[in-house]
Amino acid sequence: MTVKGERPHALTEAPFHYCPGCTHGIVHRLVAEVIDELGVEGRTVGVASVGCSVFTYNYFNCDMVQAPHGRAPAVATGVKRARPDNVVFTYQGDGDLAAIGMGETVHAAARGENIVAIFINNAIYGMTGGQMAPTTLPGQVTQTSPYGRDVKTAGNPIRVCELLSSLDGVALAERVTVDSVKNVRAAKKAIKKAFEYQMAGKGYCIVEVVSTCPTNWGMSPTDAIQWLRDNMIPYYPLGVYKDVGEGEQ
């Protein structure tokens, strides 16, 4: 029998705890595939954030560190500076990276820390019950914005890739999604480039993945994918926001 696909070695056999329709699992697999293809599992260190992805350390065969809420970039900075030959990535949601951890994120990027941030943007706080996040869309209903996000009082959503792309220390800032086979392939390509840039010492790289949260959006997985296409992608356009290129440092 011909094997068409198999579990990446860098991905453990632990069952995911994520809700049906959540795209965390897809992104986990892509990261694991990239680690396998680059042959760096033995020297990769992942930094788990606080949020729905808090159990990331159960899912990867590489070394993992659990960071306090929002402090993944600081922990990753320490690991990378102490062990510069290691390949270091953070895996963070929008509450962790763009809310409590925004200061850590901006300054790690400004310093050009040679780490990779995998950023899951599903426009809501997932783990704690579906509150409004810095990425929640205008008018979007959440547990703490039952009448929809009012930008007059809550401010406008933060477009993280656009924000970080203005910083000199950033080597790659790219926004992707995983709603289709085509986009899954593009997302993997972006993640692999980010890891390769780190290995080449180019600086801080972030790959933002526009994602779904069917449970807290109150939708079926199918409806959540369509809502992402109709509402999130127009507000968070996919694409490369900064890329220093192969020949630049």
Q: What rounded mean pLDDT belongs to the chain?
A: 95
Supply the pTM of this predicted model: 0.95
**Cβ(191)–Cβ(89) below 8 Å:** no
- List, for residues 44-76, the tens digit of each pLDDT value: 999 999 988 899 999 999 999 999 999 999 999
Mean pLDDT of the 11-27 span? 95
DSSP element (H, E) containing 221: helix 221-227
**What one-character DSSP code corresponds to residue 228?**
I
pLDDT band for 246, please (50, 70, 90 cuts): low
Mean pLDDT of the 152-172 span? 97
DSSP element (H, E) containing 241: strand 239-243
**Cβ(158)–Cβ(135) below 8 Å:** yes
Residue 181 confidence (pLDDT): 97
Task: Count the residues in the chain.
Answer: 249
Mean pLDDT of the 160-177 span? 98
CA separation for the pair 166, 173 (Å, rounded): 10
Residue 245 confidence (pLDDT): 85
CA separation for the pair 124, 216 (Å, rounded): 8
- List, for residues 169-222, the tens digit of each pLDDT value: 999 999 999 999 999 999 999 999 999 999 999 999 999 999 999 999 999 999
**Cβ(54)–Cβ(48) below 8 Å:** yes
**Cβ(18)–Cβ(59) below 8 Å:** no
Residue 248 confidence (pLDDT): 47
Half-sphere exposure of 167 (CA within 13 A, CB side): 23
Best CA proximity match to 228, nearest among 246, 239, 242, 213: 213
